[in-house]
Amino acid sequence: MKPLILLTLLILSYAGSAQETEEFHAPRYAKQAIGESGVWLYLPKSEDIGLEKSFSDDSSEVYTLDVEESGYHYAGIVVKLNGTTLETYEERESLLINYMDFLTSTFNITEVAGYGKGHTLESNSDAVGVIDYWFDGEDEWAVKGWATKTHLVILMLYGADEYPSITSQELFLNGVRFE
């Protein structure tokens, strides 16, 4: 009789702890073209990435997207510059920082870690990258921007808690390819 009681307690204990602890599973990523922009992103595999196209004041193509998966948002802004070519490293980095500054006010960001400069992409030697981490009072954000001579890309991963997988986060934030 004692072994049966112990076995029952063990099973109940395990069942209770399994319900309390939900394990995070990183999404499966798929390379997806972003409209006709000439940019591909590695995004969580989804039938709807919420892709919307608009035009800026200078007629640059602006694509926005947002995929929600397991309580986190994988969001992005892709700009195909019209009539502007960012020839130098300094021009690209400056545009990225100015755009990220604009986004901090747009998204009501209350705390920033500070820009990490000098990021590069092995797949594109012209790409300049800048990273930052934000907090808006509710969500924690990991944000990375990329600029080439003809494109600007901002990738944002945010949710109520710090993202639990640095490997998956890096795959998303560095998962940009230019034509």
pLDDT value at position 59?
93
pLDDT greater at residue 130 or residue 6: 130
- Given a contact cutoff of 8 angstroms between Cβ atoms, the answer to whether 128 and 146 are in contact is yes
**Is beta strand 72-80 parallel, antiparallel or unpaired with respect to 151-159?**
antiparallel
Adjacent-strand bridge partners of 135: 111, 140
As a whole number of angstroms, the distance between CA 112 and CA 122 comes to 27
**Is beta strand 151-159 parallel, antiparallel or unpaired with respect to 140-147?**
antiparallel
Give the architecture (CATH level 2) of 24-178: 3-Layer(aba) Sandwich (3.40)
CA atoms within 13 A on the CB side of 179: 10
| Average pLDDT score, the chain | 89
Instruction: Report whether pLDDT(4) > 80.
Output: no
Per-residue pLDDT tens over the stretch 49-80:
889 999 999 999 999 999 999 999 999 999 99
CB-based contacts of 123, cutoff 8 Å, min separation 6 = 177, 178
As a whole number of angstroms, the distance between CA 66 and CA 115 comes to 23
Q: What is the average per-residue pLDDT within 146-163?
A: 96
Per-residue pLDDT tens over the stretch 98-108:
999 999 999 99
Instruction: Kindly indicate the confidence band of residue 161, based on its pLDDT and cuts at 50, 70 and 90.
Output: very high
**Segment (H or E) for 11:** helix 2-20
Domain boundary assignment for the chain = 24-178
pLDDT value at position 21?
38
**Is beta strand 111-112 parallel, antiparallel or unpaired with respect to 124-135?**
antiparallel
Per-residue pLDDT tens over the stretch 114-150:
999 999 999 999 999 999 999 999 999 999 999 999 9
